[in-house]
Amino acid sequence: MADNMTQTTPMMRQYEKIKAQHRDAFLFFRLGDFYELFQEDALKAAKELEITLTKRGKGEDAIPMCGVPHHSSEQYISRLIEKGFKVAICEQTEDPAAAKGVVKREVVQIITPGTVMSGQAVSEKSNQYVAAIGEESAHSFAVAAADMTTGEIFVTGAEDFTLALEELLSYEPKEIVLTSEMSEDFKEKLRHRSQLPVSEAANLQIEKDFSALVDQVPAEFLKRTCSQLMQYFLETTKRDLDHLQNVTYYESSQYLSIDGYSRRNLEITETMRDRKKKGSLLSVLDRTETAMGARRLKRWLERPAVHKETAEKRQELTAAFLEHFLERETVREQLRGVYDLERLSGRVAFGNVNGRDLIQLKKSLQQLPYIFETLKALNSSYAEQLIGTLSSPEPLVELLEQSIKEDCPPSITDGNLIKDSYHEQLDQYRDAMINGKSWIAELEAKEKKETGIKSLKIGFNKVFGYYIEVSRANLKYLPEGRYERKQTLTNAERYVTKELKEKEQIILEAEDKGGKLEYELFLEVRKKVKSYIRLLQDTAKAVSIIDVLQSFAEVAEQNHYVRPVFTKKRNVLLRESRHPVVEVTIDAGEYVANDILLHEERDMLLITGPNMAGKSTYMRQLALIVIMAQAGSFVPAAEAELPLFDHIFTRIGAADDLSQGQSTFMIEMLETKQAVERATPSSLILLDEIGRGTSTYDGMALAQAVIEHIHDKIKAMTLFSTHYHELTSLEHELARLKNVHVSAVEEEGKLTFLHKLVEGAADKSYGIHVARLADLPDSLIKRADHILSALENGKNQNGTAEKREAEPQQLSLFEEVPEHPIINELKELDVMNLTPMQAIQLLNDFQQKLK
Ligand code: ADP
């Protein structure tokens, strides 16, 4: 190759120039069969990918370099992407043989964590969002999120930065896109608060091609934020993005809003501790059969509906699936054969589908009529609505049926892709090849017979083409001048004849031309498939909804769920309800079902009961049932009537949140503030042991104030669990607050939690009761009883501890002082020469040592 690597070579100058435009990405620089990385990129990549670092050039001019083979580059790229890096792919854009001087090179794609289209970095069962944020003023923000793999784009407005950030984070984006116009402060704030890679889109003009996509978006400013995303996609992928779908505009009031904290805390899609799906609500509900269905289910649980019609439509088809067991089984089986049409459309637009993808596409589409036929038996109007508007995929199926071979290879350049009879010219080339090859086979047989040399054979290699080979031992049988000698080997001679060369010409030409034609035909088919992208996307949407609803039915049957009824009244009526996740993680039949009753005159429950009795399980149970119901699912109860909630807020007292460190109490208060500021009478608030993170009186006072505020001002439906039994007296003052408690009994000296919720406050002396059962010394228990009754009789209202009956022996300073290292240090101390700060420090040290 003409390129020579030293810093002064033209190629290195070319590298520098390209690298300067892609400072924030690893530049994969194509050199023959390798992608090479140089300088800083090489040092970093060698470490991240654990590949050998080499040098190019000598002495001071030597440049750090490392490389990965082109054919296995995908795994290396995936690894970098998974670590949150970007990779710029720089290809040779002209034939090196034809190049004058340095081969032309260009960056053809920038792969980023949010725009990667295939490989391990793309999770099948969740969307892969890139989010954008726009700031119009301090009170007007826009948030857009798009999934490049499926082409979906969403946009909404937000009133302040915190809400905008919360909305943005709810998408769990892989990266955030900003504009260069935004202030450094804003970018920094976003980087800091989101902890996500932040990129910039250069251009903000809405491309002509995209202007139709934002038609439905109501404000210019929101459109610009969508465009921010689209531009970023264009700049990174450098392709037409025909699969981008119309932007969906929504207002946050369209969905049941669950802030990030509650989402994590309620373990909707993953567990808090290890962030795994197993153990989450999603894992219990997910019996989907397609990746599209799995993604939709996740989205519905993250954004349940607030409109009754939406939820009821879903319930209707779920109910139909429940009633028709056989049809459901059939549909499940049929769905198993449906490929990820949504992501496939993306890859079709991207131009990276192969023959096998197209075969899978065909098979998926061939399943559809059967699925639709099965659905007809359900008599569901929603099912009809879903499939009624879809155009027929028949022409596409026919095209694929006629063109692509069932057993095609993964490569699209090695032939064997296109079926016979699809294209006349290709058939002719194939005939020529087949005829030529059988002519050669016949020639071999004929020559063997005529010369009598049994081992005579006709072979082929790339340098000499076809040849007749006769072994040295048999040369004596070969008539002189029969063939023309071409090559001499140690043990054989190789010959050709004029006719053989003529046939060879025909075969090779047919092979070459046929190969090229086949590739062109494949690209043509692929392009035709591209014109069906909208159909594929619409179909994908319908199939994914059907899939989620059959999954709802499947789970409803197995776990004995009931269809919830939505009421316009402020009524929660759940009979024999269960926590959907806990009930399946403990032994069958072990879960104790509970009623949850709330209404206009009883919209706050104060839940008491010993630790581990089941207070927080009861509260979460309600929240999860609300989420399930509004997502369209049936719920774990014997009977369920619910209003449609607008927000769910959950706050857990700081003492339970051990992992968070010192400022937990502050966080708890900030989160409580959010709930009291944003909740409405249609919200659900769950407060679990609020006020625990501070001293008793302090905490109790706060808890009481919060309860009163919610009761008098917000009027949201609220469950409040507490271990401050004193708060149960609030029932007399707050009209709509009711005491309930989780019961426990003593049986044969053992305390058993019944997990049963009953009306009224818990037995106040439970703590001491438990201590007695635990066999603590009698004297200690007696003393505790005494202090308790003193507290109860109001003898001690000033917040100090109950006076001790017998003072322990005081240590007299004037008697003999015992030996202790600290006392010795004190004795030695030169008090007059200490600064006040040093004195405080010393006191602190002493205290630490004594702890
Ligand atoms: P608390 O909040 O009162 O301390 P939790 O709600 O954390 O108690 O429940 C403690 C344990 O009891 C949980 O691990 C759960 O498995 C179990 N539990 C809670 N409610 C029930 C129930 N209704 N039926 C069976 N087990 C339950």
Cβ-based neighbours of 272, under 8 Å, separated by 6 or more: 264, 265
608 CB within 6 A, ligand 1: no
Helices 533-559 and 381-388, interaxial angle, to 10°? 160
pLDDT surpassing 70 at residue 283: yes
- Distance (angstroms) between ligand 1 centre and the Cα of 622 equals 14
Model pLDDT, residue 804: 58
State which ligand 1 atom lies nearest to the alpha carbon of 579: 23
189 lies in some domain: yes
Q: Of 775, 795, 828, which residue is a domain's last?
A: 775
Mean pLDDT for the stretch of residues 739-762: 79
581 CB within 6 A, ligand 1: no
**CA nearest 26: which of 69, 70, 77?**
77
State which ligand 1 atom lies nearest to the alpha carbon of 689: 2
Q: Of 744, 775, 806, which residue is a domain's last?
A: 775
Q: Per the structure block, which two tokens stand in for 28?
A: 């994969």
Contact call for residues 642 and 566 (beta carbons, < 8 A): yes
- As annotated, the binding site for ATP includes 609-616
CATH number of the domain at 344, please. 1.10.1420.10
- Distance (angstroms) between ligand 1 centre and the Cα of 614 equals 3
Digit-coded pLDDT (tens) for 765-822: 566 666 666 677 788 878 877 877 777 666 545 545 556 555 444 444 444 556 778 8
582 CB within 6 A, ligand 1: yes
Question: ∠ at Cα 63 (58, 66), nearest 5°?
Answer: 120
Handedness of CA 473, 479, 481, 484 (dihedral sign): negative
532 CB within 6 A, ligand 1: no
Model pLDDT, residue 498: 92
Tell me how crowded residue 105 is: count the other CB atoms within 10 A of its CB: 19
Model pLDDT, residue 462: 84
Which residue minimizes the CA distance to atom 4 of ligand 1?
612
pTM, two decimal places: 0.83
718 CB within 6 A, ligand 1: no
578 CB within 6 A, ligand 1: no
Which residue minimizes the CA distance to atom 18 of ligand 1?
614
284 lies in some domain: no
Contact call for residues 686 and 623 (beta carbons, < 8 A): yes
623 lies in some domain: yes
Helices 533-559 and 325-335, interaxial angle, to 10°? 130
784 lies in some domain: no
Mean pLDDT for the stretch of residues 93-98: 84
Mean pLDDT for the stretch of residues 329-349: 93
806 lies in some domain: no
Tracing tokens 């969403």 back to the chain, one arrives at 154
755 CB within 6 A, ligand 1: yes
Residues 466 and 376 occupy one common structural domain: no
Residues 771 and 664 occupy one common structural domain: yes
Which of 584, 611, 617, 619 to mutate to test ligand 1, by most ligand atoms within 8 A of the CB atom? Answer: 617
Handedness of CA 608, 613, 616, 622 (dihedral sign): negative
pLDDT surpassing 70 at residue 318: yes
Model pLDDT, residue 661: 46
Query: Residue 631 burial (CB < 10 Å; 0-12/13-18/19+)?
Result: buried
CATH number of the domain at 231, please. 3.30.420.110
607 CB within 6 A, ligand 1: no
741 CB within 6 A, ligand 1: no
Q: Choose from 295-299, 728-732, 773-777 the range with maximum mean pLDDT.
A: 295-299
617 CB within 6 A, ligand 1: yes
Model pLDDT, residue 811: 44
Which residue minimizes the CA distance to atom 17 of ligand 1?
614
Mean pLDDT for the stretch of residues 649-663: 59
Query: Could you give the C-alpha distances from 152 to 202, 226, 242, 390, 802, in angstroms and in order?
Result: 22, 11, 12, 18, 65
**CA nearest 495: which of 448, 461, 458?**
458
State which ligand 1 atom lies nearest to the alpha carbon of 586: 16
**Buried/exposed 308-331: b ≥16 CB within 10 Å, e otherwise:** eebbbbbbbbbbbbbebeebbebb
* DSSP reduced 3-state for 595: strand
First CA to last CA distance, the chain: 75
636 CB within 6 A, ligand 1: no
Digit-coded pLDDT (tens) for 124-160: 888 999 999 988 888 999 999 999 999 999 999 999 8
CATH number of the domain at 75, please. 3.40.1170.10
674 lies in some domain: yes
593 CB within 6 A, ligand 1: no
620 CB within 6 A, ligand 1: no
- Distance (angstroms) between ligand 1 centre and the Cα of 721 equals 13
Residues 553 and 588 occupy one common structural domain: no
Q: What is the mean pLDDT of the chain?
A: 87
Question: Which range has the worst mean pLDDT, 186-200, 451-465, 816-830?
Answer: 816-830
State which ligand 1 atom lies nearest to the alpha carbon of 620: 6
Q: Of 254, 275, 298, which residue is a domain's last?
A: 254
318 CB within 6 A, ligand 1: no
Which residue minimizes the CA distance to atom 5 of ligand 1?
614
- Distance (angstroms) between ligand 1 centre and the Cα of 582 equals 8
DSSP string, 380-448: -HHHHHHHHTPPP-HHHHHHHHHHB-TT--S-SSSS--BPTTS-HHHHHHHHHHHHHHHHHHHHHHHHH
Q: What percent of the chain has pLDDT over 90?
A: 56
Cα 84 from Cα 435, distance rounded (Å) = 55
Question: Which range has the worst mean pLDDT, 63-67, 423-427, 742-746?
Answer: 742-746
Residues 618 and 761 occupy one common structural domain: yes
**CA nearest 656: which of 701, 697, 619?**
619
State which ligand 1 atom lies nearest to the alpha carbon of 688: 2
Q: How many residues does the chain have?
A: 851
826 lies in some domain: no
Which of 582, 590, 596, 625 to mutate to test ligand 1, by most ligand atoms within 8 A of the CB atom? Answer: 582
Residues 700 and 594 occupy one common structural domain: yes
Q: Per the structure block, which two tokens stand in for 520?
A: 């062109």
Domain count, the chain: 5
- Distance (angstroms) between ligand 1 centre and the Cα of 767 equals 17
Digit-coded pLDDT (tens) for 546-576: 999 999 999 999 999 999 999 999 999 999 9
805 lies in some domain: no
Residues 143 and 102 occupy one common structural domain: no
- Distance (angstroms) between ligand 1 centre and the Cα of 589 equals 14
Residues 583 and 711 occupy one common structural domain: yes
Residues 182 and 85 occupy one common structural domain: no
Residues 729 and 748 occupy one common structural domain: yes
Residues 491 and 570 occupy one common structural domain: no
Which residue minimizes the CA distance to atom 12 of ligand 1?
614
Digit-coded pLDDT (tens) for 53-84: 998 887 777 889 999 999 889 899 999 998 88
Model pLDDT, residue 445: 94
Residues 100 and 133 occupy one common structural domain: no
Cα 9 from Cα 542, distance rounded (Å) = 57
Query: Residue 783 burial (CB < 10 Å; 0-12/13-18/19+)?
Result: middle
Residues 740 and 664 occupy one common structural domain: yes
Mean pLDDT for the stretch of residues 394-415: 92
Helices 291-302 and 533-559, interaxial angle, to 10°? 70
616 CB within 6 A, ligand 1: yes
Which residues constitute the domain of residue 33? 2-111
Model pLDDT, residue 809: 46
Which of 585, 612, 720 to mutate to test ligand 1, by most ligand atoms within 8 A of the CB atom? Answer: 612
680 CB within 6 A, ligand 1: no
